[in-house]
Amino acid sequence: MSGCEAEKLQGSLLEAYRCLQCYDAPCRKGCPAGIEVDKFIRLIHKGDFKGAALTIEKDNPFGLICGVICPQESLCQKNCTSHKLGQPIDIKNLQRYALETARQEGWGNAALNRKEIPVQRINIAGDISLFQPEQGNNGKVAVIGAGPSGITCALYLKQMGYQVEIFEQTGALGGRLTQGIPGFRINRDMLISELKALTNALPIHFHRTFGKDITLSALKELGFQGIYLACGKWQEKTLSISGGNLDGVYTCTEILTGNRWLKGKHKKAAVIGAGNVAMDVAGTLVAGGVEEVHVFFIGTNKEVTAWQKEREDAWQKGVLFHMLAIPEAILGQGGKVSAIRFQRSKVLAEENGAWNVCSLGDQFNFTYPIDMVVTAIGFDTQQELFSAQGIQLNPSGHVVVDDFLSTNIPEVFAGGDMTQSGSFTVVRAVADGKRAALHMHKMLRKGGC
């Protein structure tokens, strides 16, 4: 063992030692996937890293990935009793360490061998059920979308003996994990190797778009008795201001996937929006050699939705923030972006904590010289595709589901980002995938939910 590895081991053991092993551990309740956090920390403290890895992965097949990108400060760690003693337990890094050790030792992902786990009960967030792998389950299920939610659902159903097939619109695995979260935040090789291992035994039809190449009625005709929609949000919100067609205007997907942006082409960028995606776009631009990256936002610091850690990372990279700015027009010279004009805004508080903005008037307008604009103001669901299939959406465009993740159409379930508003996380998508598998299993076994 190298000096650095020994130091990491010692640090993990000491951190695990700090855990109070609370009765009715509140950290467990903060984990959407229902990981037995206190138990895996106890096993680390005992030096049983294999046991720790099994404990994590039986509840979250994406445990290693979440050990890198989970916003623990707003989930498990937020609930940690050790807050009262000064510092919460660093749960995310303990999880990551246990699973990295597992991979180094060649143990593989425990979620793929759950039959070997001597635990009879699997936790489903908010719903503890007897849900052990069973043989003899018959039924054919279609999963739409190869993101974390779809893969999790397919994995659990497959292990219960069902015939599962995934239909994915792109040619890639992982959804936003591979086509959103930038490489500077998660190691690509690790990500690809985890995704390949998880999907090794799952039949996936790539380049098949639900609503275009494959419809609900076609799936039913093909004999699928249950369908899980896990399509995330793939309709990019756009700004309707003049200048949007100039050379130098990009969508955030073009930047994050590197599909159109030519590195080294631009020097000074304006990123519109201040959510997590905008922070990732800003970081990607810095990493791509853009000399000045400016984030413009219509509200104040209070209304910024990016997680604190993401904001701090952006600050540290030298990203500059401009608040209270409503984009009005992108200006150009010779067909290329040369500047962006803003109105100065004022935040108006509304009922239920909601907020809006108004312009302070033309005399406060200002123009900023830049040569690149990226809109990063969020994503919507592909509403037209889903409503054309008769699937009910709420006014914000999310698919409406009940407590069992059932949609308005019998035998059709939905989960992950496409059903949620607010904060989107991989661990929440995984939790929905598990819940959907459980409820589909109940439906297929008993002939109804």
Site of interaction with ligand SF4 (CB under 6 A)? 19-22, 25-27, 37-38, 41, 80-82, 89, 91
Task: Yes or no: say if 202 and 162 are a contact pair by the CB < 8 Å rule.
Answer: no
Among ligand SF4, ligand FAD, none, the one that 231 touches (CB under a kind-dependent 5 to 8 A) is ligand FAD
Nearer to ligand FAD by Cβ, of 36 and 417: the residue is: 417
Give the range of 363-371, 388-396, 403-411, 426-434 binding ligand FAD by CB under 6 A: 426-434
Q: What's the rounded Cα separation, in Å, for the pair 438 and 443? A: 9
Q: Which does 30 bind (CB under 5 to 8 A by kind): ligand FAD, ligand SF4, none?
A: none
Please, is 1 exposed, middle or buried when counting C-beta atoms within 10 Å of its C-beta (0-12, 13-18, 19+)?
exposed
CA–CA distance, 264 with 272 (Å, rounded to integer):
20
**Which of ligand SF4, ligand FAD, none does residue 371 bind (CB under 5 to 8 Å by kind)?**
none
CB of 30 to ligand SF4, least distance (A): 8
Q: Does the CA dihedral 312-318-323-329 come out positive or negative?
A: negative
234 in contact with ligand FAD (CB under 6 A): yes
**Strand, coil or helix: 386:** helix
Question: What's the rounded Cα separation, in Å, for the pair 233 and 417?
Answer: 6
CB of 77 vs ligand SF4, minimal distance in Å = 8
Q: Does 95 bind ligand FAD (CB under 6 A)?
A: no
- Amino acid occupying residue 87: Q
Tell me: does residue 194 bind ligand FAD (CB under 6 A): no
CB 88 within 8 A of CB 77: yes
Looking at the chain, the number of H-run helices and the number of E-run strands are 14, 18
Smallest separation, CB 399 to ligand SF4 (Å): 34
154 binds ligand FAD (CB under 6 A): no
Which of ligand SF4, ligand FAD, none sits in contact with 80, Cβ below 5 to 8 A by type? ligand SF4
- In 3D space, the residue among 432, 445, 387, 388 whose CA is nearest the CA of residue 406 turns out to be 432
Choice from 27, 35, 56, 70 touching ligand FAD (CB under 6 A): 70
Check residue 30 for interaction with ligand FAD (CB under 6 A). no
Separation of CA 352 from chain center: 26
Residue 370's φ and ψ, nearest 5 degrees, are: -150, 170
Q: Does 389 bind ligand FAD (CB under 6 A)?
A: no
φ, ψ dihedrals at 419, nearest 5°: -110, 0
Contacts to ligand FAD by CB under 6 A: 69-70, 144-150, 167-170, 175-177, 180-181, 209-211, 230-232, 234, 256, 276-277, 280, 382, 385, 416-417, 424-427, 429
